[in-house]
Amino acid sequence: MPYDYKKKAAKKAKKAVAKPAGPKMLHKATNGGPGAGTVEIYQTTESVGDKGTWRWRLKANNGKTVADSAEAYVSHAFAIEAARNMLSYSSANTNIVELPQPVPAPQRRPRPVPRPIETPGAPSGLTATPATDKIVLTWNAPTTGGPVQMYHVERREAAGPFQLIVKHSDKLTVTTYEDTKVKPGILYTYRVLAHGVNMQHSPFSNEASALLTISTPDTTPPLVLITAPGDGASVGGTIEVKVRAEDQNGIKQVELRTDGTSRGFSSTPVEGRYRFMLDTKLYNNGQHTLTAIATDNAGNSATSAAVGIHVQNL
């Protein structure tokens, strides 16, 4: 007859099964010499059929767990045999104890759930101020909610719809913006929102409007006249020529000419007059003509009435 390996293994496993120990056996296991302890074998779930989920742990006599296995889905006989193999190095001082009831596996403490980042509140105090060729926006950062990553700006022309003019890709992080893509005579209305670090948008700020006025080109020439010396005056040596020049947009410069030849420029009035020092010895004795040309800040020019002088030097 062939050798029956299965029947032999079953007989061996039956011998290996230890009777479950009650509390008295567990208490007795804490006695012993140095290094004595207890191997506890226990189920974490009830067995279904021949197999169940088992764990092993090694406890010292002081009750401290010094080793703990992972779970294994095995038969009862295999669990007992594995426990014996665990303590084979010190069987004189260590007992095997099978706990009578299933013991839940140890649970890990759950990690604390981080608090979600809040969405920023709405920006406030938005103002729109027209300048020469742009509209300058300023506003206040939100005072509530989470941190701000950047701002978005929307603009409306007249009664049209709002359109986004400062996008996510512009990465506007300051609380001011200059809109240079504007035209005179159009009413522009603006509003701003905050883009939070949580990738959520705040409510819109208040709306603010501005209008660039249509500027009328300055084509008016300045007023200019020579106030000294008087027309027909006899002069000699070095004389002071005084010129009055005025314009609503300001005077850029005044030029003095003698007989049509430039004798210098002045851009700073003194006591309301542009002043020139003229050496008459550079001219022949006799009649000469003085004129002044004033240029305003818009580029308009005007020439004064001519003033005649009679040069008489020895």
CA pair distance 182, 179, nearest whole angstrom: 7
Q: Is the pLDDT of residue 242 over 90?
A: yes
Q: What is the pLDDT of residues 47-72, one digit of tens each?
A: 767 787 888 777 777 777 777 777 78
Strand, helix or coil for residue 80: helix
124-211 and 223-311 have identical folds: yes
Q: What is the pLDDT of residues 185-230, one digit of tens each?
A: 999 999 999 999 999 999 999 999 999 988 788 899 999 999 999 9
CA pair distance 295, 220, nearest whole angstrom: 11
- Compute how many other C-beta atoms are within 10 angstroms of the C-beta atom of residue 162: 15
CA angle in degrees (0–180, nearest 5) for 205-206-208? 120
Q: Of 106-110, 258-262, 279-283, give the lowest mean pLDDT range.
A: 106-110
- Sequence ranges of the domains in the chain: 12-98, 124-211, 223-311
Give the per-residue pLDDT at 243: 96
CATH superfamily of 223-311: Immunoglobulins (2.60.40.10)
Amino acid identity for residue 236 in this structure: G
Q: What is the pLDDT of residues 77-103, one digit of tens each?
A: 888 887 777 665 444 455 556 666 666
Could you tell me the two tokens for 196? 């939070």
At the topology level, CATH places domain 124-211 in Immunoglobulin-like (2.60.40)
pLDDT, averaged across the chain:
83
Task: Give the pLDDT band (50/70/90) at residue 182.
Answer: very high
Amino acid identity for residue 280 in this structure: T
Name the DSSP letter for residue 172: B
For residues 6 and 56, the model is more confident at 56
| Helix 76-86 × helix 5-16 angle, to 10° | 70
